[in-house]
Copies of this chain bind each other. A is one copy, B any other.
Amino acid sequence: MTNKEVPNIIIGRLPLYLRTLQQMAGQNRRVTSSQELGERLGISAAQIRKDLSQFGEYGKQGTGYDIPFLIAQISKILHVDRVWDIAVVGSGDVGHAVARYQGFTNRGFRVAAVFDNDPAKIGQKVGNFVIQDVANLIPEIRKAKIQVAMLAVPASQAQGVTDLLVQAGVKSILNYAPISLNVPAGVRVQYIDPAAHLQMLSYYMD
């Protein structure tokens, strides 16, 4: 079903559709429309229909989308019809918040391990996790077969830790360090840089 040629910008909207549908399902809703989804998301109904049509025929003219069915379909497309374990590297303020973050439930991910290089932190607990020594990162990640990591280390250490994660077999990295990472083909990075997001807003301010 998944077509690897679908533009990245469409892939980027699928999590928003899924999140909104899950919120509707949480309110015991059964059916929605591209119009309603569009209003909630500030995206045109035509765009939503076009995006979803890349993957199949999910709505019926006049009756709209079956919410549980569409949730199941988009979850399959995004490969979150399973739960992925995540390794968090760095247990400063950001790593701490990420390790304890409650927002992954039902969205396909769970934190499974937390690493740091600070002897004062190793062995301490963050949320339910004992902070492990980053020196053991490669064997621990391999043993646990973890393929997803969140990087919350200082910019100066981010590339070095990334190289370890890649060696350990990690395929997806969510990077909170404000630096662009070099990764080999087959490894993907998404960036969370609050200052960069804010600059996209200040562009429009006087």
Contacts and interface: CB of A to CB of B under 8 A. Distances in A.
A82 to B, nearest CB: 9
Nearest to A197: B190
A160 interface: no
Interface string A187-206: 01010111111111111111
Given A15-B196, A79-B205, A172-B201, A42 B108 contact: no
A182 to B, nearest CB: 8
Interface string A4-40: 1000110110111011100100000000000000001
Interface stretch (A62-70, A89-97, A116-124): A89-97
Given A77-B203, A79-B205, A205-B147, A198 B174 contact: yes
Given A180-B42, A195-B104, A195-B109, A201 B190 contact: yes
Total copies of this chain within the assembly: 2
Interface residues of A, number: 62
B94 A196 contact: no
B200 A190 contact: yes
A129 interface: no
A93 B103 contact: no
A145 interface: no
A23 B156 CA distance: 11
Contacts of A79: 202-203, 205-206
5 A-B pairs with least C-beta separation? A172-B201, A15-B196, A107-B195, A93-B97, A15-B199
